[in-house]
Amino acid sequence: MTPFAIIVLGLILLRYFFELWLDSLNSDYVRRHADEVPEAFREIMDEATYRKSVRYTLAKARFGTLSDTYSTVLLCALLFTGWLATIFEQVAAWTGESAWGFAIALWIVILLMSTLSLPFSWWSQFRLEARFGFNNSTQHTWWADQAKGVALSFALGVPLLSLLLWLVNASGSHWWLWAWGTVVVFQLLMSVLAPIFILPLFNKFSPLPDGALRDRLDDLAKRTGFVNAGIQLMDGSKRSKHSNAFFTGLGKGRKIALFDTLVEQLDEAELEAVLAHEIGHYKLRHVPKRIAWSFVTTLIGFWVLSILAGQSWFAKSFGFEPVIAGVFLLFGLLAGAVTFWLSPLSNFCSRKFEYEADAFASEAIGSGGPLITALRKLNRENLSNLTPHPWYSGFHYGHPALLEREAALQYNHLSG
Ligand SMILES: [Zn+2]
């Protein structure tokens, strides 16, 4: 092994053991509070639901450890034995050495690797989620989802990859700027096109039916000056009992999608509060900020990639010929070992946005009350971990914990 390969192995193992440690820290913390519902949650969750949420959290942690171990061993086995390089070169010899050929070779190798983790996704849905009553998916739906995912990754990923690989050769030493521009355009295009062409492949979207709820939400949108192309109902219950709301599209074409499970779980006042929270994200310009942030990180990513591509030792450390497609593959597999350490920073920003959107909602509704009861219900229905360890949530949670959000909402209410 080259010194560089040893450093990379060290980084992969460091992240792996750190995550194990975080998991055990979190599980211990949860277990310590497992015997009775903590004082602060007595109003929120009954004993039985609380115990079930503890069991769910611990079961997910055990499963997560198992699947992390598997994927780390697999990654190390492929990288440090040179097997990955051999497989990639065999496939590339067959697909040809043009930009298209290399793009298809990359797609095949990534597909092979994700196939190896397929049993874990299956188990998660049909054993783990099913055991806690969350799974609504059938085998047919699940396998159809996988097939659609593969087809989409081919239809979108291969042309994009081949364009990027072609740019490396065609645009000289500043190729990374061109590559970045291409990805930026692609991302913007996808945020407009995905809601129209991709999301409907997986879910049915229908306009929220006329009635009291619709009137109330339309009225809220008008009051807050939120221009939109419609509030949609999505059949999330097709796959899972978990509930959510999100928006799609850009500018005036934006739509809000409410999971049918959400509409079932919350009453009208609570749904209005959830929508107000989502509108808050828009009004406070969280979306362009998030997009800008992703453009910056993509730019840095391509810049680092271009530097690594110029160093023959980078690819050689893992047995690869110094071809750019191999560098792309290695970079894609290894970047996470470094960017993982930045996740507390991005989670911090994301949590700040959540507080801001909550404050906006309580202002728009005139009270934090409905949002608080909505959050309580959602935490209960989704069996959320009410007592995450602060370190664990720092690395894994983009949303503040329930009590923190409630405290902030009550504070806003008193001071507003
Ligand atoms: Zn939010």
Q: Please state the pTM of the whole predicted model.
A: 0.90
How much is the pLDDT for 416?
46
Domain borders along the chain are 3-188
Q: Tell me the C-alpha distance between 309 and 42, whole Å.
A: 57
**Helices 47-80 and 99-116, packing angle to 10 deg:** 130
How much is the pLDDT for 45?
85
For ligand 1, the distance from its centroid to the CA atom of residue 409, given in whole angstroms, is: 14
CA neighbor of 71 nearest in space, from 19, 135, 21 = 19
For ligand 1, the distance from its centroid to the CA atom of residue 343, given in whole angstroms, is: 17
How much is the pLDDT for 412?
67
What distance separates the 2 farthest-apart alpha carbons in the chain? 68
User: What 8-state DSSP symbol labels residue 36?
Assistant: S
How much is the pLDDT for 229?
82
Inter-residue contact 231 to 207 (CB < 8 Å): yes
Read out DSSP for 121-145?
A: HHHIIIIIIHHTT-B---HHHHHHH
Q: Tell me the C-alpha distance between 27 and 32, whole Å.
A: 9
For ligand 1, the distance from its centroid to the CA atom of residue 16, given in whole angstroms, is: 29
For ligand 1, the distance from its centroid to the CA atom of residue 284, given in whole angstroms, is: 11
Residue 167 CA from chain centroid, whole number: 29
How much is the pLDDT for 247?
83
For ligand 1, the distance from its centroid to the CA atom of residue 156, given in whole angstroms, is: 29
pLDDT along the chain (416 residues), means of 10: 94 97 94 84 86 95 96 96 96 94 97 96 96 96 97 97 95 94 96 91 94 94 89 94 86 86 95 95 92 95 95 94 94 95 95 96 93 93 91 93 90 60
For ligand 1, the distance from its centroid to the CA atom of residue 179, given in whole angstroms, is: 31
For ligand 1, the distance from its centroid to the CA atom of residue 97, given in whole angstroms, is: 45
Partners of residue 361 on adjacent β-strands: none
